[in-house]
Amino acid sequence: MNAKIIYKIVAFEDEKEIFSEKLTFEMLKTIVSNSPDSFDQDPLYRLTAQHPSASIREEIAYKDKISEEVCEILSKDNSISVLRNLTRSSGFKEFASFEILERLIELDYECAENIASNIESYQQVDVSKLAEFIFQQEDPRVLLSLANCYSAPKRILKQLANHDDYSISNAAKETLNR
């Protein structure tokens, strides 16, 4: 059975409770959005990462200082917007496994673009293996992101330099020449 989680705003006057009301999802979103991007917030972020409102989860996925547990929860999210934010988070880059990246790359082109642009940032995966997997994608936008990535292995960039689409081949050549 799912745990019943209630979010409330409580006001105190001289330490005496004078007001208590459940927060609407929009109020909670405001709080999460304005909360500092800090590991100190982890207890709150672990709970809100499971909130039924995707707009709240999007706010959490936007943070860089999120724990492995929060990354794990959000990487299974059914909202593409949450996943797109998550793939930009440095917290995610620290903890994401190859299996998670593989799934997200195949799921959504924007997630794939985000990952392809920063392949060197993923600390748990082999850059060559990741680049090889992205290279196999058909979407030219994803390949263009990879072609623009200085950390992409030269072997892959050389193959992209021969791509039929000249925006991709030109980008790969420029990256190779820098």
Partner 1 sequence: MSSEYIYKLVVEQNGKQVVTKVLTYKMVGEITSSLEDNEGNNDFFEVAAHHPASSVREYVASKDNISTNVMETLSGDKSIAVLRNLVNTSCFRDNATEEQIEKLVKLDIEIAESIANYISSFENADANKLAVLLSESNDPSVLATLAGNSDTPKKILKVLSTHSEPEIASQAKNSLDY
Strand partners, 138: none
Question: For residues 1 and 38, what is the distance between their CA atoms, to the nearest angstrom?
Answer: 30
Write the binding mask 34 to 73 for partner 1: x where contact by CB under 8 A, - elsewhere.
xx-------xx--x--------------------------
Nearer to partner 1, 17 or 138 (CB): 17
What would the DSSP string read from start to end of 118-159?
Answer: TGGG-TTS-HHHHHHHHHT---HHHHHHHHT-TTS-HHHHHH
CB atoms within 10 A of CB 15: 5
Packing angle between helix 127-135 and helix 140-147, nearest 10 degrees? Answer: 140
Piece of 23-31, 106-114, 134-142, 168-176 that binds partner 1 (CB under 8 A): 23-31
Output the smallest distance, CB 37 to partner 1, in A: 14
Taking phi over 0 as left and psi of -120 to 50 as alpha, with beta for the rest, 122 belongs to beta
Number of residues that bind partner 1 (CB under 8 A): 27
Q: Please tell me whether residue 23 binds partner 1 under the rule CB under 8 A.
A: yes
Q: Please tell me whether residue 164 binds partner 1 under the rule CB under 8 A.
A: no
20 three-class SS: strand
Applying CB under 8 A, among 6, 78, 166, 177 the residue interacting with partner 1 is: 6
Output the smallest distance, CB 96 to partner 1, in A: 26
Which residues contribute to the site for partner 1 (CB under 8 A)?
Answer: 3-15, 18-21, 23, 26-27, 30-31, 34-35, 43-44, 47
